[in-house]
Amino acid sequence: MKRMLTRRDALKLGLLGGGAVLLPLALQRRSSAQLSTWTTQFQVPLRIPPVLSPVSSDATTDYYEITMKPAQVEILPGLKTTIWGYNGQFPGPTIKARVGRQTLVRQINNLPEPMVVHAHGMGSKPESDGHPDDIIEPGAYRDYIYPNDRPATLWYHDHSMHDVAPHIYKGLSAFYLIGDEVEDSLPLPKGQYDIPLMLQDRLFASNGEFIYNSRGNNGAFGTTMLVNGVTSPRFEVANRKYRFRILNASNVRSYQLALSSGQPLIVIGSDNGGLMPAPVTTSKIRLGVAERYDVIIDFSVYSIGTQVVLQNLVGETPSLQQIMRFDVVRLESDDSTIPATLRPFEPLPESRAVRTRDWNFSRGEHGEWVINGKPWDSNRVDATPILGDVEIWRLANNDKDAEHHIHLHLVQFQILDRNGQPPLPYEVGRKDTVFLGPNEVVRLIVKFEPNRGTYAFHCHMLEHEDHSMMTQFQVL
């Protein structure tokens, strides 16, 4: 049963801004006086998205088939939410691939709008990268071929120009995990101790449906935290080490992750770089949209019965400050260790760069988001590096308030500096997305490989990307 939101409801949902934002949940069905009670936090067990099985395999390739379609799922206890999902699931099914074998994913569009699918972080050929022009019409399908060239935590999501924000908000995002023998040979936590966590914030109507409010082109913020599509879940763990692959798949929200116990996080991997050269211990992690960090948490320091909350230090309400809870419930032996050396690589020296390109991220004259003063134009290419060239990309944000989370398709880059200072300690691995804070200048060093062709380069805050802080480079 639908009912109109009153202004009072809207205020409580944070739609009108101002005041503390309270959590609309099943409680909404009761009187509005009870709205302030948050009863489902840490009640619902974490779910791990299912791993998709290939429909067939041959000597070189695993073949998958996915149907994008609407579905009704239970996110808030007792209520139904309409989602758009890969195979009707939210998050979509995880694809697990191996370096050395390619994947063909047939994406069938059974949704009422054109779709584009992008495997974020992959070194795909242009025709499989999900260029915004390469749409799949409703009722049609497209075959994407993925080389699985990097052992790393990737994800796949919609990439329709001007509609990526509502599409991902409705549920079109999923993990794509690539492993290899080097990683297998390390004694890191594996199998059921290697857990993907997709962080998203959503706003719910009283009937359980998502409310999408882009606030112009500032972006859709939610008041409820979802992890793998579950509201502020609880996850029962043994007193041992776990690996968590943490992805920010929110529309525009960024996070500062920390544990309520004060225990540090051990970062072992980042973005499409996969494992870093060495583990980095940090008390908190800043996570922009589309960034991923692989993190080890060692629960062996806790006694059975301990509860540890994964916090967001920059959340504006208690519910946004407490993302999920780990309940240490059982004793288990632990044969995993964290090697001092993970996956070393030669950092690209600045002297290898053949040129520097300057990129400015700002508001345009009409309030849109622009790169070097220009909005997206699929007929314009703003950089033409040559295959194999190393370049320095200098990203500048002159805004004192807005942040941007900048992503390059195709490549892996390294962060040289932030406002002339070294990057954060856990930003030393290879990455595909970088946090660009207010008034910040970040320099990246990028080698343009492994393919020629035209690729997107954009802010990954979804409403910024849609309106339309995106351009493209062409590798010659």
**Cβ-based nearer residue to ligand C2O, 132 or 222:** 132
Identified binder of ligand C2O from the candidate list 89, 107, 117, 120, rule CB under 6 A: 120
459 binds, among Cu ion, ligand C2O, none (CB under 5 to 8 A by kind): Cu ion
Question: Contact positions toward Cu ion, by CB under 5 A?
Answer: 120, 404, 409, 459, 461, 464
462 binds, among ligand C2O, Cu ion, none (CB under 5 to 8 A by kind): none
Q: Which stretch binds ligand C2O (CB under 6 A): 228-236, 244-252, 317-325, 456-464?
A: 456-464
Tell me which residues in 204-263 interact with ligand C2O (CB under 6 A).
Answer: none
Give the CA radius of gyration of the chain.
21
Closest residue to ligand C2O using C-beta atoms: 120
Q: Which stretch binds ligand C2O (CB under 6 A): 53-61, 248-256, 393-401, 453-461?
A: 453-461
The reply on whether position 292 binds ligand C2O by CB under 6 A is no
Identified binder of ligand C2O from the candidate list 142, 202, 240, 407, rule CB under 6 A: 407
The reply on whether position 409 binds ligand C2O by CB under 6 A is yes
The reply on whether position 118 binds ligand C2O by CB under 6 A is yes
430 binds, among Cu ion, ligand C2O, none (CB under 5 to 8 A by kind): none
- Spatial separation of the C-alpha atoms in residues 210 and 282, rounded to whole Å: 35
243 binds, among ligand C2O, Cu ion, none (CB under 5 to 8 A by kind): none
- In the complex, the smallest distance separating the C-beta of residue 449 from Cu ion, rounded to whole angstroms, is 15
User: Per-residue string for binding with ligand C2O, 140-169, x by CB under 6 A?
Assistant: -----------------x-x----------
**Cβ-based nearer residue to ligand C2O, 148 or 319:** 148
How many Å from the N-terminal Cα to the C-terminal Cα in the chain?
A: 56
Residues 6+ apart with CB under 8 A from 45: 230, 233, 234, 235, 236
Identified binder of ligand C2O from the candidate list 21, 104, 456, 462, rule CB under 6 A: 456
**Cβ-based nearer residue to Cu ion, 256 or 300:** 256
467 binds, among Cu ion, ligand C2O, none (CB under 5 to 8 A by kind): none
Identified binder of ligand C2O from the candidate list 76, 104, 174, 290, rule CB under 6 A: 290
**Cβ-based nearer residue to ligand C2O, 177 or 290:** 290
**Cβ-based nearer residue to ligand C2O, 44 or 95:** 95
431 binds, among ligand C2O, Cu ion, none (CB under 5 to 8 A by kind): none
Q: Helix/strand/coil (H, E, C) string of the chain?
A: CCCCCCHHHHHHCCCCCCCCCCCCCHHHHCCHHHCCCCCCCCCCECCCCCECCCCEECCCEEEEEEEEEEEEECCCCCCCEEEEEECCECCCCEEEEECCCEEEEEEEECCCCCECEEEECCCCCHHHCCCCCCCECCCCEEEEEECCCCCCEEEEEECCCCCHHHHHHHCCEEEEEEECHHHHHCCCCCHHHEEEEEEEEECECCCCCECCCCCCCCCCCCCEEEECCEECCEEEEECCEEEEEEEECCCCCCEEEEECCCCCEEEEEEHHHEEEEEEEEECCEEECCCCEEEEEEEHHHCCCCCEEEEEECCCCCHHHHEEEEEEEEECCCCCCCCCCCCCCCCCCCHHHCCEEEEEEEEECCCCCEEECCECCCCCCCCECCCCCCEEEEEEEECCCCCCEEEEECCCCEEEEEECCECCCHHHCCCECEEEECCCCEEEEEEECCCCCEEEEEEECCHHHHHCCCEEEEEEC
**Cβ-based nearer residue to ligand C2O, 46 or 116:** 116
**Cβ-based nearer residue to ligand C2O, 157 or 243:** 157
404 binds, among Cu ion, ligand C2O, none (CB under 5 to 8 A by kind): Cu ion
Q: Given the rule CB under 6 A, which residues bind ligand C2O?
A: 118, 120, 157, 159, 290, 407, 409, 456, 458, 460
